[in-house]
Amino acid sequence: MAKYDKKSVEDLDVAGKKVIVRVDFNVPLDKQTNEITDDKRIQGALPTIKYLVDHNAKVILVSHLGRPKNGPEAKFSMKPAAERLAQLLGKPVTLAADVIGEDAKAKAAALKDGEILMLENVRFHKEETKNDPKFAQELASMADLYVNDAFGTAHRAHASTAGLANFLPSACGYLIQKEIKFIGGALDEPQRPFVAILGGAKVSDKIGVITNLLDKADTVIICGGMAYTFIGAMGGTVGDSLFEADKVDLAKELIAKAEEKGVKLLLPEDTVIADAFDANANSKVVSSMEIPDGWQGLDIGPKTIEKFSAAVKEAKTVIWNGPAGVFEFEKFAVGTKAIAQAIADTDAISIIGGGDSASAIQNLGFADKVTHISTGGGASLEYIEGKVLPGIDCLSDRKNGRTFAAGNWKMNCGVPSDAAKLIGDLVPLVKDAESRIALGVPATALAAALEASAYTNVKIAAQNCHFEEKGAFTGEISPLWLAKMGVTYCIIGHSERREYNAETDETVNKKAHALLKYGVKPIICCGETLEQRESGVYFDWIKGQIEGALKGIPAEKMCQITIAYEPIWAIGTGKVATDDQAEEICGFIRGVVKTLYNDDIAAALTIQYGGSVKAATAAGLFSMPNVNGGLVGGASLKADEFSKICLA
């Protein structure tokens, strides 16, 4: 599971600051009156909004509503949400006429402490879902800080969910904190027995979820439409029931894996079948293994309800996602209601994964009898699956000094297929790593690397860029291109480039400014030659490099920067700095940053060592107080070797 130890809204100094907050106010509206029919999502954001107001922040809220296709549409305006929020808070909420236009910026600039502004529907701009860096920059320009409290959209790398964190100091709100606490806690350290109940239509929708839960749960219950593919895999007849013939082999593999791991995999014993997919169809109960042609399974039967309920009764932790039958038809909602009742009656920690499961719990009046109802159906499903959620992963870490292992492939592994294979080999080895991980790949492999690493904890870095957005610079890479591709980091001022390509502190500084402008995080390298070290001038040399590279970079942008100390004399020579030598220089660099900025920025800065880091030496280096990780060369080209460094 992804390890999310992120700053909370309480970790930010919000007084007098403009704080842009991503909320999920995508509420259902009555088609006739346009009135809100369920305001739970708005109520879910109230604790964070109230905290900010009570602590004298200037609050700017951003959300989407519905799925507008062609720009602004009156029926998708945030007006109903702004009005309901004002009612719930008992104070005015100003609505901007646009998102990043003149009205929004003027009203944001005019905000006073404790006041609230709601921007118009962020999806009026197609740039939102594309995570366009210029659009994210425009949003960020209105604020000083960013808080994400929209768990329901945290699985999307959009401009207002992930993009804003590339420009502003960031934290999560109380709602996301709660989701991390309950879902993450249940999966990482469940009280046992741990029972997972999975329903819904298709196996293909929940392959990753089932696979991940087989490594964590004691009992996995399969119901809903996807159960019939498992029944078919066991040799049963499924009639006209939902059935994915191309997933039969996968179902067999999952059944075998459950047996191998000693996990109880419970499937329906009996099934309520119908002669048509209709609310009033003829129905009867049959064995799940013997569904006749012309009939289809629409709900679990009484024996199955008894078996599933007994498993829930024994549980200490329960996660439920997906209905047991066709919940929208009252006649075939019996199984879903029975599961909801069983969960409500247990004393176990109970987590409901959104969607129809949440609706069942709420409609039956059991909301106060479960531990947690997730606000994000898709997000909770991907979290349970073990995927990294971009809208949370991007936020600032709560603690300083988290290890950052970055690989630099240099002029190796630039063939896209080779890059994809290497990353594919690495990802399962580091999926539980608590360190930050990045790979600096050649430009020819960037697209393939980004695809191979999507929704994992491995981020991609470019090895260099130009400082101009566009122009007649043959062979160069624009920082804007990197941002639009989704590249997270860029290595600049690499000691080899300084030595062999005559890069200067001035060009490194220009690149740093350009990258920050478009939301790409610079890894700024510095280091001395053997001659400089032996002549004793290396402290002054490195100080000059740091001062030059950081010239004009504002304090609030330092949270986006990593510095890598790379002694040129230890790169590719077989010579390695001792742990004490690495600590001495990294500590010195931190002191220089302290002088340039302040104690807090210096303490929070990530400083890597980058001189022939190996698996055998990583643990010692990373244990040094001022060494926060490594910029790794050749060892990053071997998945096994690099994974050991990431886990050191």
Which positions are catalytic?
Answer: 494, 566
Three-class SS of residue 77? coil
Backbone angles phi, psi at 162, to 5 degrees: -105, -35
d(CA 243, CA 354): 24
Residues in the chain: 648
Coil vs helix vs strand at 413: coil
Q: What sign results for the dihedral spanned by CA atoms 613, 618, 622, 626?
A: negative
Number of H helices, E strands in the chain: 25, 25
Q: How far is CA 93 from CA 27, 137, 495, 616, in A?
A: 17, 24, 52, 58
Query: Which pair of structure tokens corresponds to residue 228?
Result: 């019939």
Contact indicator for 258, 221 with CB cutoff of 8 Å: no
Longest dimension (CA), the chain: 92
Structure tokens at 536: 């004793």
CA torsion sign for 366, 368, 370, 375 is positive
DSSP type of residue 101:
S
Eight-class DSSP state of 431: T
Q: CA torsion angle for 613, 615, 618, 620 (degrees, to 10)?
A: -120
Structure tokens at 174: 């109380």
Q: Is the separation of the CB atoms in 325 and 298 below 8 Å?
A: yes
Residue that is written with structure tokens 């971009």 in the block: 390
Q: Is the dihedral of CA 512, 491, 154, 188 positive or negative?
A: negative
DSSP class of residue 12 equals: S
Q: How many CB atoms lie within 10 A of CB 315?
A: 26
Q: In this structure, how many other beta carbons lie within 10 angstroms of the beta carbon of residue 294?
A: 10
Q: Residue for token digits 């740039």?
A: 127
CA distances from 406 to 119, 391, 402, 503, 562 (A): 37, 21, 13, 21, 11
Dihedral sign, CA of 465, 467, 470, 474? Answer: negative
Pairing of strands 270-274, 283-287: antiparallel
